[in-house]
Structure 1
């Protein structure tokens, strides 16, 4: 089965399996000293040759064998060595040959990567966030991006509430208290905060934020929210949420959950000034992206007791975490586990592969990323 046809590299249209390849004077390259064959000659050859091409897909993360087998039925996956991850130079060489790439949020794609990948037409990212990719550079290069929204909403909302409850009831400190044999001592340091009938402020009432609001209803919480564009009155009623500007939300909320994209506008959205607006009894939860919170300002606020606690699943510069943050009291940490359930990670992989297949069949993925900045 033929798999490679060389062209000029300028055509950004996807290769479609099972179709005839059209050749013309515009996309054939002559070696020095050779004459171009008449178009009639090319037509005669094409009449008898059916070229079926499988797109080459650079794979940056492990795949279950059954998903890999399905992918191999219509594509040429380019995999890392079986005993280790890609090294940087190997990944660059792989991208240089690829028609598409399947990546996670831990794989960066920047303008320089695109320049070295002349055949790349599509990138399917497993996850929702796009701050690991230069979206504008991809658009300029004609490379389509896709992500996997929807399937992460429920597990991430679950995890946000787990952090909220854990921070409010000091579960990490309580666990250490028992392991250190301190149970017979007074438990006053472990007295926590009520969650029921308190006020929850959600910064970013998108898909995940709305699921967090639904969970808050089960705790009889008042729900406030803020975002760039307020919801309609009907939508606000559906989620039991009241819109407020950010500063007013921070001043009123007992718990502040951040669930918004990271970009230049949201960099350090929560810093010293914003933390100073919050109640001394308030708790901050970040299940959005590292960089939305100024981690050093948060560590300082915790050390000085200006807020009661925090729960973080994401960090600026992760996996590196500032020592000031690690030493801060009343802080519950998890290593970017928002979508980390077995069923959800499987669903994310399946959707990413479906995005790839849709692109090569239809020219458009199921979940294209649009740069709205």
Structure 2
């Protein structure tokens, strides 16, 4: 057991800020059960020194990453894992994805990695619906223009967006990855009057397809891209889905297709996406994630067709 203010309690390194409202009572109970050390961002050299014997993080039993924040730890790759103290037994993260973490190496060290799978399914699906609407209707562009460029000249905005803005009703939504998020997103899109198609490694049961609004299965990505008016990525990142949308697959889509990504940023080749927007192949984009969350491509800043959240 770790030493500390109370050696009977496990010691946790807490990364991020606790969300106290409306969770103050839960936080009080939680903080009474552990010795909590708030993480303060520093240089990597100082962080590694803090993890060495005698350092302030050298006796931690667990790490909690409670929110996405600039005050964060590096990804748990093999090199960083080699510096973690022997006392560490568990890492808990609010994030759904864990593609930055070497979970196999953590397992070899006897360290559990717990992600937030399932906890954000509904909120992610809600954002998917918002981004689908924004990609079709260019709502982000309208709002930005009204607030800045046109100083509130609504009719001038309307002239620009009416040429490419469309209603999603009766359009085909092609979902890549009909898991819990994909299914919840499809059900929401069905309420807009969209037709649901999907691609995945295996076909879902008739019951699941019915929950998704009578979804039509495609055994190949190519066949789904050929009919989709909007492609929604809701799949995990893996070697098979890395840059799933790329220079070659963008050649297979309908001209003016919408692209929405609530999966992982690395599922899209962002340079290929930027080229497809420039060439008019992609007519609207909604992104919840980026290839590198801390370095959004500069080209994206100038696309009126792109919405983000």
TM-score range, shorter chain: 0.7 to 0.9
8 Å CA contact 2:142, 2:157 repeated in 1: no
What SS does the corresponding residue of 2:266 show, helix, strand or coil?
A: coil
Q: Pick from 81, 105, 114: which aligns with 2:81?
A: 114
Deviates more, 1:252-261 or 1:325-334: 325-334
Q: How far, CA to CA, are the matches of 1:184 and 1:257 in structure 2?
A: 31
8 Å CA contact 1:203, 1:257 repeated in 2: yes
User: What pairs with 1:223-242 in structure 2 (closer than 5 Å)?
Assistant: 223-239=196-212, 240-242=214-216
Q: How far, CA to CA, are the matches of 2:157 and 2:32 in structure 1?
A: 64
Q: How far, CA to CA, are the matches of 1:225 and 1:154 in structure 2?
A: 19
Structure 1 pair 76/52, CA: closer, same or farther in 2 (3 Å)?
closer
Partner of 2:44: 88
What SS does the corresponding residue of 2:225 show, helix, strand or coil?
A: helix
Q: Pick from 11, 16, 22: which aligns with 1:56?
A: 11
Alpha-carbon distance, 1:205 to partner: 1.0
Root-mean-square deviation over aligned CA pairs: 2.3
8 Å CA contact 2:245, 2:269 repeated in 1: yes
Q: Give me the TM-score of the superposition, normalised by structure 2.
A: 0.84
Q: How far, CA to CA, are the matches of 1:197 and 1:187 in structure 2?
A: 23
Q: How far, CA to CA, are the matches of 2:211 and 2:125 in structure 1?
A: 17
8 Å CA contact 1:60, 1:86 repeated in 2: no
Alpha-carbon distance, 1:90 to partner: 4.9
Alpha-carbon distance, 1:160 to partner: 0.9
Alpha-carbon distance, 1:313 to partner: 1.6
Partner of 1:100: 62
Structure 1 pair 100/171, CA: closer, same or farther in 2 (3 Å)?
same
Structure number with the bigger relative contact order (C-alpha 8 A, sep ≥ 6) is: 1
Q: How far, CA to CA, are the matches of 1:218 and 1:263 in structure 2?
A: 30
Q: Does 1:222 align with 2:177?
A: no
What SS does the corresponding residue of 2:141 show, helix, strand or coil?
A: helix
Alpha-carbon distance, 1:331 to partner: 1.4
Note the alpha carbon deviations across 1:260-307, whole angstroms, 9 max, x for none: 112332211110111111111210001111111011100011011112
User: What pairs with 1:295-306 in structure 2 (closer than 5 Å)?
Assistant: 295-306=270-281
Deviates more, 1:89-98 or 1:123-132: 89-98
The structure having more radius of gyration, on CA atoms, is: 1
- Number of residue pairs the alignment of both structures matches: 285
Q: How far, CA to CA, are the matches of 2:202 and 2:103 in structure 1?
A: 22
Q: How far, CA to CA, are the matches of 1:230 and 1:213 in structure 2?
A: 15
Q: Does 1:183 align with 2:154?
A: yes
Q: Pick from 271, 290, 295: which aligns with 2:246?
A: 271
User: What pairs with 1:42-53 in structure 2 (closer than 5 Å)?
Assistant: 53=8
Q: Give me the TM-score of the superposition, normalised by structure 1.
A: 0.71
Alpha-carbon distance, 1:151 to partner: 2.3
Structure 1 pair 121/170, CA: closer, same or farther in 2 (3 Å)?
same
Unaligned ranges ≥5, structure 2: 52-56
Q: How far, CA to CA, are the matches of 2:47 and 2:94 in structure 1?
A: 17
Partner of 1:38: none
What SS does the corresponding residue of 1:124 show, helix, strand or coil?
A: strand
